[in-house]
Chain A
Amino acid sequence: MHSNRSMWRAALRNPSITVGGGILLLITIVFLFAPWLGTVDPLTMNPVNRTLDPSSKHWFGTDTYGRDLYSRVLYGGRISLFIGFSVAILATFFGLLIGLVSGYFRIADMIIMRIMDGLMSIPAVLLAIAMTALMRGSVLNVILAITVSEIPRVVRLVRGSVLSLRERTYVEAAMVSGTRTPTIIVRHILPNTFAPLVVQATYIFAAAMIMEAIMSFIGAGTPPSIPSWGNIIAEGRVLWQVKFMIIVFPAAFLSLAVFSINMMGDGLRDLLDPKSPR
């Protein structure tokens, strides 16, 4: 195991991480500072100026209600990134918890894994739509719905590594020396599951953003009152043959964000895999 500092240095030498992470950092900063970047209220309608082409006043043009598209894309990006990030954190955290229990305790494993199998047998989008249909459409509920559909993936991953880790000799050595189970899990099992988990979390980040876009696109996601890339594209689709700009801008940002996150994930995977040469 390398020390933390040499890990950082190796990360900075990895082009996938620097490029992917760099793009991600840049768009995050842009979205965070959206209010100061020449945007107007993304909800103000102005039917007179609807479907304008990009100009110096409206950088990306306006949509069918005359709202400024540039502002909407930037504010929508905040929502999309927030959902992606929250889902990644929540799904990883709960997945890790459930996975540890499932991997370490045989009886719990039987029950938990059957539930996870059940969840995985329903297509993720369908499950998320069903859940938002039961609840009110809000950002929080979208996060919740996508998290539930992503958890089984994390559980499988964690359970798998716990199952192999608990057979390691040093875990047995700790058992023989009388170390209690919680200590064994925290000291010997948990730290060794982190590497694959970090990689998985980045993929969930990207997947959640796409999922949010899909859900919003079919009207089951973020409510129309809150702009997100998904519902901007959804509203623009009726006009895409005439004013395809309305779709192109949010779609391009979505692609860029997903691409940069996946790229970073690939870099992290190579970096954290002990078998790959540095």
Chain B
Amino acid sequence: MRDETDGRLVRRVLAGESQVYARLVERYRDRLGRYAVRMLGNVADAEDALQDTFVRGYRSLARCTNPEGFGAWLFGILVNRCRTYAAQRARRQAMVMLDESAVASASVAHSEDRDAWREAITWAVDQLNPDQREAFLLKYVEELSYEEMQKLTGTRIPALKMRVFRAREELRRLLEETVRG
């Protein structure tokens, strides 16, 4: 019965079949994982945020008022968890004193290479401030509408549009510099 809907699985968990939650975890692991990896810039932090999200989702499952929309509901929890993890990481990095110039030249040195292009993108996205990175990923990678983004983040649409605009400009500048380098 792999085709059971989210709603049915959620209702089974709420009826006491807690092991059924594993099916929802498997279903959304990679889908949510993409956002977490892009937002946090590394798999280890992304997995921590994901695990936290799934556990919080389970604890709050009775408040999922639309079980068929479980995926979107859980994504809302993930977006918030990623914010927290990004803030924690920013504090850690501030202490480590990351040498940005060294990272930038490493990307430039391999800019012909496809993998290096990916690395450059990861690096460039990571340079955005968390609010801009979140807005850019939600808009262009997750392809949400501004209305959906507003609902998810609690930020008003004009502010979201500004963040997306700034993120695009900054990303373009960073990537063009990398390619030219």
Task: Decide whether A and B assemble into one complex.
Answer: no
Tell me the B residues contacting A by CB distance below 8 Å. none
Chain A interfacial positions (CB closer than 8 Å to B)? none
